[in-house]
Amino acid sequence: MDIFGRMRSGEPIRSTDTGFEKVEESYVRAARFVARLNTGYHTREETLEILRELTGSDIDDSVQVALPFYTDFGRNIRFGKGVFVNSGCTFLDQGGIEIGDDVMFGPNVSLVTSNHPLDPADRRAVVSTPIRICRNAWIGAGATILPGLTIGENSVVAAAAVVTRDVPPNTVVAGNPAREIKRIDVA
C-alpha cells in the first residue's frame, strides 16, 4: 500500500516514511491552488473550476463556495449538490471529507481530519480519519469538527461548537465540547 493508501486507512504517517515526499508535493500543489483561489476576484464559475482542478472531482454547478477558502490537501474533498460554504472555511482533508447534498457551512468553519498521537515520542506522526457531513446539515459559524466524525442528516451544529463525537440525525448540538441541546422534528 502506498503512503496515500496508508493515510486513508488511518495509519500513522511520519515525515521519515518512504513516499512522504509525495505527501509534501501534495501540500505544495494544494497551496498553489489555494493561493490562486484566494487571490483576486473570481466568478462563481471560475471558483468552481479551480475547485474541480484542486479536488480532481466533478463538482455540481449548484455548489457555492465564498472565498477565502483553505485546504491543506484538496484531493480528498467531495461535495454533494447544493452545498454552500461561507467565507473563511478551512477543510483539512488528508483523511477525507464527504459533504452530502444541501449542506450549509457558516463562515470560518474548520473540518479537521488529522490528529497526532498523545505519546510525546511519536507526536509528530499524523493520523487521519474521514469526516462525513450528511445531507441537509447546517454547520454554524466558527464551528470545529474533529477527525473521524459523522454529522447526521438534518442536524445543526451551533456557532462556535467543537464537535468531538458523532452527531445523530435531526439533532442540534452546541458548546465545547458540543452536546445535544435539542431534537429536530422532521415532518
User: Is 42 among the catalytic positions?
Assistant: no
Q: Cα(158)–Cα(142) distance, rounded to whole angstroms?
A: 9
Q: Is pLDDT above 90 for 8?
A: no
Which pLDDT score, from 0 to 100, does residue 187 have? 78
Which pLDDT score, from 0 to 100, does residue 142 have? 99
- Residue 83's contacts (CB-CB under 8 Å, 6 or more residues apart) are 62, 63, 64, 99, 101, 102, 103, 104, 105
- Residue 49's contacts (CB-CB under 8 Å, 6 or more residues apart) are none
Rounded mean pLDDT, 17-28: 97
For the segment 91-118, what is each residue's pLDDT rounded down to a tens digit? 999 999 999 999 999 999 999 999 999 9
Higher pLDDT, 1 or 178: 178
The answer for 186, left when phi > 0, alpha when psi is -120 to 50, beta otherwise, is beta
CATH of the domain at 55: 2.160.10.10
Q: How many CB atoms lie within 10 A of CB 40?
A: 8
Q: How many domains does the chain have?
A: 1
Rounded mean pLDDT, 36-55: 98
Q: Cα(121)–Cα(152) distance, rounded to whole angstroms?
A: 36
- The alpha carbon torsion through 5, 8, 9, 15 (nearest 10 deg) reads 70
For the segment 149-182, what is each residue's pLDDT rounded down to a tens digit? 999 999 999 999 999 999 999 999 999 999 999 9
Q: Cα(42)–Cα(182) distance, rounded to whole angstroms?
A: 39
Model confidence at 46, in pLDDT bands (50, 70, 90)?
A: very high
Residue ranges making up the domain that contains 53 = 3-183
Catalytic residue among 22, 44, 116, 179: 116
Q: Percent of the chain beyond pLDDT 70?
A: 100
Q: Which three cell numbers stand for residue 62?
A: 449548484
Mean pLDDT of the chain: 98
DSSP strand pairing (104-105 vs 84-85): parallel
The DSSP secondary structure of 81-133, one letter per residue, reads: TT-EE-TTEEEE-TT-EEE-TT-EE-TT-EEE-EE--SSGGGTT-BEE--EEE
Rounded mean pLDDT, 17-35: 97
